[in-house]
Amino acid sequence: MRDRLRRITPSLVTYAALACGFTAIVLTAEGYLGWAGLFILIANVSDTLDGFVARKLNAASAFGLQLDSLADVVDFGLAPVFLSYKYLQIATAVPGWLAAILGFFYIMGGAFRLARYNLLAAEKEGKSDQTLGLTISASGALLALAVLTNRAYFHVAGFLLLPTMVALPLLMVSRIRFPESHVVLRRWRWSLTALALGGVASFVVTPQAVALGLLLGYVAFGVLRATYYALA
């Protein structure tokens, strides 16, 4: 019984993340965009925890990998796209058909990224210090934070969601290597510095804007590093 519980615990965490993604979709449909964005971010935390739990319990499995990917399509594909679509309809004059096309483009990029990751898992990419292409979880969090930040600042930059929805799938299917989240957290001096600066900045701007800025910095680091090595 104890061994069975150990093996299914990571999947239970994945199901919790999936529940958050589904809740975000329902909340978006009901018009609670702020809460929907928050649940996407909670799903992001849960998505990080399931891998951590699997490693700590020595319970990683092929089933868990596939389940995690399917949950990610909902949590960081459908949920943030639906949130962005609904927000664009409410806060901007963007035609619905354009928002829908860009949303599908995003989901295509996310599905491709997950499929590629699963194929590379056999080569142990999941244990690498780098990941090929921007993860769909980071992309989903970025979209959700962009919506939350725009709502906090009276929709002044809602139109910027359009280029964001174009750039993110391109980054997901790219061959740019980004640091894995556990690498960022392991470098505790940088992490503490970022948290300290974020805490100070929260007194000037909103917490969601700070989180968005940190995530954009992570993306910019990966892109600039890849550009540097390409030109070197």
Predicted confidence (pLDDT) per residue in 150-161, tens digit = 888 766 667 778
Chain segment 76-118, per-residue pLDDT in tens? 999 999 999 999 998 888 898 999 999 999 999 999 999 999 8
Tell me the mean pLDDT in the region 184-202: 55
Q: Which helix (H) or strand (E) holds 199?
A: helix 188-201
pLDDT of residue 90: 87
Q: How far apart are alpha carbons 30 and 22 in whole angstroms?
A: 13
Q: What is the 3-state secondary structure (H, E, C) of 68-116?
A: HHHHHHHHHHHHHHHHHHHHHHHHCCCCHHHHHHHHHHHHHHHHHHHHH
Domain count of the fold of the chain: 1
Higher pLDDT, 10 or 172: 172
H helices then E strands: how many in the chain?
10, 2
> What gap in Å lies between CA 151 and CA 132, rounded to an integer?
32
pLDDT-derived band at 188 (thresholds 50, 70, 90) equals: very low
CATH code, domain carrying 169: 1.20.120.1760
pLDDT (tens digit per residue) in 23-44 = 999 999 999 999 999 999 999 9
Structure tokens at 67: 């389940």
Q: Which domain holds residue 46?
A: 2-231
Q: What pTM does this model have?
A: 0.88
pLDDT at residue number 152: 80
Structure tokens, 19: 């529940």
